[in-house]
Copies of this chain bind each other. A is one copy, B any other.
């Protein structure tokens, strides 16, 4: 029997700091409804979709900072999304800022099954930015200040039988540029990677090194190539547009195991993309070109784990 899973990405336009949480959640529920009406069984929301991307500011008021975090998942603020998803029988991936009972903070993601059960959880490993604010910059990138490095590794998990029991993986934003992260899932025979992101469209402080076109190209290139090299489907979904004065790329895509784009967002706003993922398409790569058991040579890869930074020859 063919293993076809209809999947969706729910790209979101910007969440302004002034937007209320219920207003943002209502947009997410509308996107979930669209995905369900299109027949999707699983919809992917962006990284940190419930609020603005708060790591762009130095926030010294602890109560304000805490307001961006979830102390449990689900919780009353997000429960209506969970309720609607279960009602429609659709699962979803969502990012969120996690505050644990022990007071630890992570940039996390969960995948929720069609029955509302949490199937898997991930904590972002590749935190960009800095701990200390950069002097004189209007916009910061303070993920290393607000979050701890993910401590769950890269834990693949199986989706339900109603989805044809695919092996699923999750990453968050910047992780998608790191082939080590994809490979750790590829080594678990992943068939579908779920990713949400917020990526700057340009330097919000006025630098001109990279424009929106090249940054969108990078985002798409990373999804395509890493999907191909791990013989997996991937859904990579943005929060996009001008958010509180800082531009975010769109470019949400669904990519097949050949690295070919199956669906792509055309806007910088709320937009649902959909594709039918033939999960058995992963078999071609998994059993031939990327038959890891036949072709990988880990004894030659030691540098990847023995060394953190780059060391030029002769240095």
Contacts and interface: CB of A to CB of B under 8 A. Distances in A.
A167 to B, nearest CB: 6
Contacts of A56: none
B293 A298 contact: no
Contact of A188 (B154, B286, B311): B311
B189 A183 contact: no
Contacts of A309: 187, 291-294, 296
A125 interface: yes
A310 B125 CA distance: 21
A159 to B, nearest CB: 11
Interface stretch (A174-182, A243-251, A264-272): A174-182
Contacts of A260: 214, 217
A180 B295 CA distance: 12
A302 interface: yes
Given A153-B300, A178-B229, 14 more contacts: A125-B300, A153-B303, A179-B179, A179-B182, A180-B304, A184-B303, A187-B310, A210-B284, A217-B259, A217-B260, A222-B228, A225-B226, A296-B308, A298-B306
Interface of A: 125-128, 149-150, 153-158, 167, 174, 177-184, 186-189, 209-210, 214, 217-218, 221-222, 224-226, 228-229, 258-260, 284, 286, 289-298, 300-315
